[in-house]
Amino acid sequence: MIPVVGYAGRTVGVLGLGRSGLSTARALAAGGAVPVCWDDSDEGRARAETEGYAVRDLTRDGAWDDVALLVTSPGIPHLYPAPHPAILGALRAGVPVDNDIGLFFRSVATQEWEQMDVAPRVVAVTGSNGKSTTSALIHHILSEGGRAAQLAGNIGRGVLDIDPPVDGGVVVLELSSYQTDLARALTPDIAVFTNLTPDHLDRHGGMGGYFAAKRRLFAEGGPDRAVVGVDEVEGLYLAGQMAEGRADDRVISVSVTRKIKGPGWSVFARKGLLAEWRKGRQVADVDLRDMPGLPGAHNHQNACAAYAVARAMGLAPKAIAAALQSFAGLPHRSQLVAEIGGVRFVNDSKATNVDAAAQALAAFPRIRWIAGGLGKEGGIAALQGALGSVAKAYLIGHSARDFALQMPGIPVEICETMDVAVARAAAEAEPGDVVLLAPAAASFDQYPNFEKRGEDFVACVARLG
């Protein structure tokens, strides 16, 4: 646990009592603060009371008279489309609002660090797609390289739940836009921006607000080194703002769409071949094409970003390449579930938007595509140019019929449920085909989250025998 510093003897409100909220309450108490907790659900409040924390309705008048700070969970709106009543009350009362990420950055460094030979470092990863895989890949490379690494944030453990970093240790954080948008402290040693595609726009008031939330990690965080995906204009803009000139190697540019050979530091992949360039010359290369845990260009971008971080931390290219080869991938993200009769079954349930689905569709030559769920604004119209490898689509969930209307020229079958879709796709698949779950939709019509949807796909495949 990372005890929260700066609030000993003071009352701190905790809003939202899921995983991060209860973790925050514990870390506050460990640092001597007095948490008062609130959740809109009876279940959440009961969990806090079971652990011995005081429960106070933070939406009522007078709730803030003795409160020094409000810490809110990332899923609770603090600005758009409208702030939660408790957050609005705190703002009106002049009470600062923070989250567990901000508390982590304020509390993780201790006096013990001064006695260490090598001070711990924090790597923070943000972006629209690939954050989880990139974060896990960085953690894997560092661990394989003998570094004491911990993975936390939007993946793995809550940031305040981790162990205090040891001498030379590294904390790898995956940070969503909800987390970077509100954190009052953001001070990573290395910050990573993977890419930017439209998502969560209701929470950020549009694309500009969404990018601004990501940009805070760099503009306010002041990292020693920035690894920036430059395949979108926002990434180019961010890299330009962080660098003092073309040869400034504090910025490492990453691409999977073009070669970058200028005087600075770059890592790019073309047709599965990763190249590292520095000071106008190539210094290393890695063949990504046969790495089972990293299929497709989108995973090659993740590999480039993770490679860049590892190189910035002093690891040798050969050691990084060996770790990339041994990376098994993450559940629900281009996860190879099984191969039956020459047909591969791949679980990419995390592909909840059209951009992530397009990347998954581009990774394989002939696809039996399982898609659908609770569709997002615009449906899958933007996928028209990405369906060339789809032999047939098997549609499930609330948006199945709407999706079918947006795929002219593609054979379609309305299956409604996962078990029917898997069975039908498996029955019609031929050797060399890939049965791919890449829903391009949220899961909440049939499942509580994308993980449960992916687990159902895995279970249905297992029943094929």
Helix runs in 7-54, H state only: 19-30, 42-50
127 marked ligand binding residue:
yes
User: To 5 degrees, how large is the angle CA 394–CA 397–CA 403?
Assistant: 60
Tokens of 207: 């694309």
Which helix (H) or strand (E) segment holds residue 178: the answer is: helix 177-182
Three-state DSSP class for 173? strand
94 labelled ligand-binding: no
Residue 318 annotated in ligand binding: no
Angle at 71 between CA 67 and CA 74, to 5 degrees: 155
Q: Which residues contact 458 (CB under 8 A, 6 or more apart)?
A: 337, 347
275 is written with which tokens?
Answer: 């190249």
Beta bridge partners of 395: 371, 414
Q: How many CB atoms lie within 10 A of CB 119?
A: 13
Which of 149, 104, 152 lies closest to 131 in space, CA to CA? 152
SS3 249: coil
Residue 245 to residue 222: CA distance in whole angstroms = 17
* Per-residue three-class SS string for 367-388: EEEEEECECCCCCCHHHHHHCC
Q: Is 180 one of the annotated binding-site residues?
A: no
Identify which of 426, 430, 405, 404 has the alpha carbon closest to the alpha carbon of residue 416. Answer: 404
User: How many Å apart are CA 107 and CA 116, to the nearest integer?
Assistant: 17
Closest CA to 119 of 108, 135, 129, 130: 108
Structure tokens that stand for 103 in this block: 């508390």
The whole-angstrom separation of Cα 163 and Cα 87 is 30
Residue 128 annotated in ligand binding: yes
Can you spell out the DSSP letters for 299-356? HHHHHHHHHHHHHHTT--HHHHHHHHHH---BTTBSEEEEEETTEEEEE-TT--SHHH
Edge to edge, what strands does the sheet with 149-153 contain? Answer: 149-153, 170-174, 121-126, 190-193, 225-229, 251-255, 265-270, 273-278, 281-287
Instruction: Compute the chain's Rg from CA coordinates.
Output: 23
Report whether 99 belongs to an annotated binding site: no
132 annotated to bind ligand: yes
Q: Confirm if 55 and 177 have CB atoms less than 8 A apart.
A: no
Known binding-site residues equal 127-133
Known binding-site residues for ATP equal 127-133
